Chain A
């Protein structure tokens, strides 16, 4: 099956710093990538939809200036958490959708962000 990687898998940072998370589709071209956030014992909540070469579409309540998303190529999308605070600590997961026309999504392994 299709493989999606995510880097880093775990990051600990100080409050006020910025953190960049990369999501790569390794063996297919991802026209669309999605970023989710998952708090402990909760479901996956969609943050934004990212299409290659265009601006991301953010869900209501997600600050686009705080969570910067760039989808510069068909295999890479990045999420930058700017000026991170402890409440941003969460499990961030990306998923990628290919060009088959069907909506099967392939998930990355996730990034555990801890802001001190």
Chain B
């Protein structure tokens, strides 16, 4: 089955700096890679996702890159703000509606004002 590794587990950055979180996956058939932001006691919120037919996707300060050959994908947050502080999870799955997501262990991001 799929296995997703996520690094780092914790990340502290100064406000305004960039943050990068990296994930690797094992199942070459996976082709859907979402990123979630979770605040304490709340549900995971989808912030960006990418499918295997593209290598990069950007939405304002957030971007995701995908390298299918190397089986890794990364989340980039630029111009970080204190409200970006949360736990971020990457996930991977096959592009099928009844296939569950496999999550990484999460990265606790702290943006220091």
Contacts and interface: CB of A to CB of B under 8 A. Distances in A.
Contacts of A97: 97-98
B55 interface: no
A103 B43 contact: no
Interface of B: 32, 34, 41-46, 49, 89, 93-106
A51 B89 contact: no
Given A97-B98, A110-B43, A103 B104 contact: no
Contacts of A91: 41
> Chain B contact residues: over half helix, strand or loop, or mixed?
loop
Interface of A: 31-32, 34, 42-46, 49, 51, 91, 93, 95, 97-105, 107-110, 112
Q: 5 closest Cβ contacts across the A-B interface?
A: A32-B98, A107-B43, A97-B97, A103-B32, A43-B105
Given A43-B103, A43-B105, A101-B96, 19 more contacts: A32-B97, A32-B98, A43-B106, A44-B44, A45-B103, A46-B102, A51-B98, A93-B44, A95-B101, A97-B97, A97-B98, A98-B97, A100-B97, A103-B95, A103-B97, A107-B43, A107-B45, A110-B42, A110-B43
